[in-house]
Structure 1
Amino acid sequence: MTTLLILSEQAPSRYWQELQKEKDEAKDAGAGEGNKEPTTEEAEESNTPKQKKRKFKEKRDQNQDKKCISGKSDPFPGKARIPEDRLQKFKRKEKIKKPPHQHYKLRTMIARSEEASEMAQKQAARFDLLLPEEAGFLEGDEGEDTCLVSQEDIANAVDITSGAKHFHLKLSQFGPYRIDYSKTGRHLLIGGRKGHVACIDWQSKHLMCEINVMESVNDIKWLHSESMYAVAQKKWLYVYDSNGIELHCIRKFNDVLRMQFLPYHFLLATASSTSFLQYLDVSVGKEVVAINTKTGRLDVMCQNPQNAIIHLGHPNGTVTLWSPNQKEALVKMLCHQGAVRSLAVEKNGTYMVTSGMDKKLKVYDIRAFKPLKSYFLPAGASCLSLSQRGLLSAATGDIVQVYRDVWSTPVTKPYMAHRVRGTVWGLHFCPFEDVLGVGHQDGFTSMLVPGAGEPNFDALDANPFRSAKQRQEWEVKALLEKIQPELISLDPTELGHVDRATFEQKHEDRVKALGFDPLAKVKFIPKFKKKGRSSAGHVEKRKKQVAHEDQRVSDPEQEI
């Protein structure tokens, strides 16, 4: 009984007490050894690279075992397998052919670059499974045609937030209107032919600014952010801020009809009625180049988002491709028998859609510069626009038609159709939204087009929900990463190739840099000797004696 009583009076042990007890015992054991220091040989052995590498490997293996949820008996060890189709979706480029062994530094750099690219490809494929949104399309009942579904029916069927994206602005006094959405898809810019210009946060219906420039407006375009925009007025090009304050009047850019902004180069490309294609660097406010195309009035223009090449349509039915690096067209294609009315290029830069006065709608493969499909429209298409998901919108008079898969399968009927109150003057799909903006004679109409926008956005590139501070930080980073105009080319993958200059090219560059040819052999002139030793026979004999030797440079200052 006494023993039981003594045991019950002891306090129960806790885990921290046990740990403290173990530490105390270890400390006493260390003190008992008399603080014995390791010998010099033992210290050197523990600090050798092999020992350090072995310790690091053991520690890494222990951490990997701790991260394993199922332990060593995991039936599926290692990382999950990535489907091949997912990897192909995020494939960046083909592997570069490795240079010879003597270029070992270059081989190491290429190997590291390919390893980083492969890791990024695998990570993007894994994270693609975590994306929260998926794109959908409008599907009718059995026997129902989707092009007969009205916008009111779609707005009533969807949720309140999506239904509010369908609206109409009645502005019949200053029309027709050109329109443009910002890169984030959050802000809308409209410009009336008779001088009315307005900036709108179209989702919250907040009016940012509204002005009248008191002269005709030919085109409008957002610049790198929603804080600045350009207006092509009757005579000159003007730049305004989001409050409607005039920042610049650029008189070098006169009679501008159409504009395109290259966001990664900070270049504003303009096409004028005087046949000039001009580039303005908005980061420094200087003209980069002015090209006289010599093709007449330029009122049809679009850009290739993949390589920043400008496409121009001409009255003779041709489409030309331009770069700021050359004064001549890179490519000239005969697309229509009549004048070209509108152009549009897919975001991947693979397909181009054109419409002309011959009432035909043609789809071209830009990689081969060959037509894929050709469709006949009874009235022809005056405006074209391509969405992020590949939907094509075409305006014929006051009717807007939307088509699906125009380059993969033959199209017999439109996907959607809508009639507006006046002749259409501008079409533009909103980025990251299932919305099509239509500028016409009676104002502006926002259409709901299911499956048009990309459901997942890259917040580091274009974030619709960014704050003012995030926009400022993004602007600084974008300016630091600005691509120079000299790098614009038809094939952007050429920039990743190794420039293997030939020996002749290197030698020519060296001769130009030095001013003389260091490898040229100086003609040997024998020294004149007396007493008959400079006769013709003696001279030729001395020349033969030194013919096999390398000639030195006569001037010591020219030696390398």
Structure 2
Amino acid sequence: MANDKGKRGMKKAEGKMKPRQNKAREQPASVSATVEAVVDTMTPEMKERMAKYERTHGKAAGKRVKSSRLRNALGKADKFAREAAETAARAEMLLTEEAGYLEAEGMEKTFKFTQRAISDHLDITNQKKIFSLKLDTFGPYAMDYTRNGRHMLIGGRRGHVATFDWRAGKLGCELNLNETVRDVCWLHNETMFAAAQKKHVYIYDHTGMEIHCLKKHGNVNQLEFLPYHFLLVSVNDTGYLKYQDTSTGQLIAEIGTGLGNCNAMTQNPYNAVMHLGHANGAVTLWSPNVTTPLVKIQCHKGPVSAISVNSSGHYMATAGLDGQLKIWDIRKFAAVHEYYTPKPATSLDISQRDLLAVGYGTNVTIWKDALQTKQASPYMNHQMPRDVVHDVRFCPYDDVLGYGHSNGISSIVVPGSGEPNFDSYTANPYQTTKQRREAEVHALLEKVQPDLIMLEPNFIGRVEKKPQALLDHERLEALNEAHHEKKEVRNRKRGRNSATRRQIRRVKKNIVDERRLVIEDRLAREKEERAKRRQAAEHGEQEQEPGALDKFYAFKNKRARGR
């Protein structure tokens, strides 16, 4: 009976194990094979669209990984990335709006079109976007737009600060601070903004109530806000760069640049690296994780007056008091184009569609395709008599350029400057109060840590594509070289630090004079004499003792050489 029960139990166990074996056989060999099968069924047009959104290369890296668990994890990550790219490519068909530009006919030039001529061909809604506010008492004005382009913030140098919904013409709040305001900046949305006042940086809410006073930020010249990190960045007149976390209130970093007063600062939207322009003509790139600049570029012969980076993070525009406007490729840190401005530019800004706005004197010039190719003439030109430009800003998701000047603020229409199709998960110009609150909560939950700010943000999580055998070979070669270097014995010669040799080292190597030749001749003779004595000692010859008349013979030879 006991044997029968044991056999029945073994049969039951075998029956239980069979379905598991069948399940394992039904699973696909790998996730990457499934992804390849899906990609092969796509049309060439869909593959071309997907190429714009692909960001990972997990398939190529996963094939060289020996661990099956890691290989499957990389395959799943690659699958999710490809699905996201495919979804974005399919959603592109729903983006029906296209960017339109000014087009000239015949001998006409687009930079000769005035705002009045453009306004005559616009509808009533777009005509209202061309306006000017005369505020000549508190100027010049700095300004800023929210990320969705719906609200505007202005700050006068003499203490006038105001916020309003510029499309609806609805005033948010208005303050007269009765002290100097150097710069203003929106925070994560239109409910809070920061103002760099005479001594400290203050944070206000949408009603104009003071919330915080950041006393550690003193004498600030420029302000910037990193939306994905919730970091308020400031630089003051002594060159100190400070990062303040607005979600926790902590001072993340305080870095001394050591380059003095700084009046030009902007952020790179691609990697959140700060670009600072200094009085010696250099531009430095900073991260809160290091106390030294990531990159230092000598851009101009004089002080840098303005700086701007495009949305892709590939190009940077700088202007200096030397009258030069330069376009830089950040990927190779080299200048690609140079332009000349009649007066030194005071402000620069690059739109979402890579239009470059340059403010100098009483003029605002807009350049089209100036980042990739050298342009012979500007796209648009706008001139304001008696109004000196102080700050220029493109409005996101709209063909509008706002600029602050000595007598107030103005807004003009620039066709083709704004992105026509917006992403409601990133910035929604038509969001409601409920959507704004939900977006704020999601942004806090998805906040990026300051430790991840670096030149190459995709470096973390990247897999080394070289084979393991090659990596081991390179590591072994490096160890051997280090071992040989340690074993090298330095051949120290006698008389290395003698007075004669010190005198030679003082004289530059590229200068040949009579004194140097005399010293070198003396050293050569001493070397020959030492060699002769060494040879005589090796052959066992005894050195003859000097006679009584040898000194007269040596003196005679010395005088003969001197002649």
Contact 1:155 1:164 survives alignment (8 Å):
no
The answer as to 2:94 corresponding to 1:134 is: no
CA deviations over 1:12-40 (Å, ceiling 9, x no partner)? xxxxxxxxxxxxxxxxxxxxxxxxxxxxx
Q: Matched residues in 2 for 1:413 and 1:353: separation?
A: 17
2:448 corresponds in structure 1 to: 483
278 and 101 in structure 1: CA distance in 2 versus 1, 3 angstrom threshold? closer
The answer as to 2:55 corresponding to 1:88 is: no
The counterpart of 1:213, out of the listed 177, 181, 194, is 177
Q: Matched residues in 1 for 2:26 and 2:253: separation?
A: 61
1:337 corresponds in structure 2 to: 301
2:163 corresponds in structure 1 to: 199
Partner-residue secondary structure (3-state), 1:253: coil
Task: Report deviation, 1:123.
Answer: 1.9
Partner-residue secondary structure (3-state), 1:319: strand
1:279 corresponds in structure 2 to: 243
1:469 corresponds in structure 2 to: 434
53 and 327 in structure 1: CA distance in 2 versus 1, 3 angstrom threshold? closer
Q: Which runs of 5+ in 1 are unaligned?
A: 1-40, 57-76, 504-560
CA deviations over 1:418-468 (Å, ceiling 9, x no partner)? 113411111110000000011001111111000000001110111111111
The counterpart of 2:129, out of the listed 141, 152, 165, is 165
Task: Report deviation, 1:120.
Answer: 1.4
The answer as to 2:382 corresponding to 1:418 is: yes
| Amino acid in the other structure paired with 1:90 | Y
The counterpart of 2:460, out of the listed 495, 504, 525, is 495
Q: Matched residues in 2 for 1:101 and 1:234: separation?
A: 58
Q: Matched residues in 2 for 1:49 and 1:294: separation?
A: 67
Contact 1:361 1:374 survives alignment (8 Å):
yes
Structure number with higher helix proportion: 2
2:87 corresponds in structure 1 to: 123
CA deviations over 1:181-220 (Å, ceiling 9, x no partner)? 0011000000000000000100000001001111010000
Q: Matched residues in 1 for 2:42 and 2:238: separation?
A: 61
Task: Report deviation, 1:81.
Answer: 4.8
Q: Matched residues in 2 for 1:92 and 1:387: separation?
A: 24
Contact 1:92 1:117 survives alignment (8 Å):
yes
Partner-residue secondary structure (3-state), 1:466: coil
The answer as to 2:417 corresponding to 1:452 is: yes
CA deviations over 1:40-73 (Å, ceiling 9, x no partner)? x9xx99x9579999999xxxxxxxxxxxxxxxxx
2:190 corresponds in structure 1 to: 226
1:151 corresponds in structure 2 to: 115
Partner-residue secondary structure (3-state), 1:218: strand
| Amino acid in the other structure paired with 2:393 | H
Partner-residue secondary structure (3-state), 1:85: helix
499 and 145 in structure 1: CA distance in 2 versus 1, 3 angstrom threshold? closer
The counterpart of 2:267, out of the listed 270, 285, 303, is 303
2:408 corresponds in structure 1 to: 443
Contact 2:309 2:350 survives alignment (8 Å):
yes
The counterpart of 2:69, out of the listed 105, 112, 119, is 105
TM alignment of 1:215-254, pairs within 5 A = 215-254=179-218
Percent identical pairs in the alignment equals: 44
The counterpart of 1:289, out of the listed 239, 253, 269, is 253
Q: Matched residues in 1 for 2:72 and 2:79: separation?
A: 11
Q: Matched residues in 2 for 1:125 and 1:472: separation?
A: 29
Task: Report deviation, 1:104.
Answer: 1.3
Contact 2:143 2:153 survives alignment (8 Å):
yes
285 and 49 in structure 1: CA distance in 2 versus 1, 3 angstrom threshold? same
- Number of residue pairs matched? 441
Q: Which runs of 5+ in 2 are unaligned?
A: 1-11, 28-39, 473-563
Task: Report deviation, 1:94.
Answer: 3.5
Task: Report deviation, 1:499.
Answer: 8.0
1:67 corresponds in structure 2 to: none
CA deviations over 1:361-385 (Å, ceiling 9, x no partner)? 1111101001101111222311100
Contact 1:392 1:406 survives alignment (8 Å):
yes
CA deviations over 1:203-256 (Å, ceiling 9, x no partner)? 000001001111010000000011000000000000000100000111111101
Contact 2:346 2:391 survives alignment (8 Å):
no
Partner-residue secondary structure (3-state), 1:214: coil
49 and 364 in structure 1: CA distance in 2 versus 1, 3 angstrom threshold? same
2:154 corresponds in structure 1 to: 190
Q: Matched residues in 2 for 1:361 and 1:381: separation?
A: 8
313 and 78 in structure 1: CA distance in 2 versus 1, 3 angstrom threshold? closer
Task: Report deviation, 1:412.
Answer: 1.3
Task: Report deviation, 1:112.
Answer: 0.6
Contact 1:82 1:125 survives alignment (8 Å):
no
The counterpart of 1:377, out of the listed 329, 335, 341, is 341
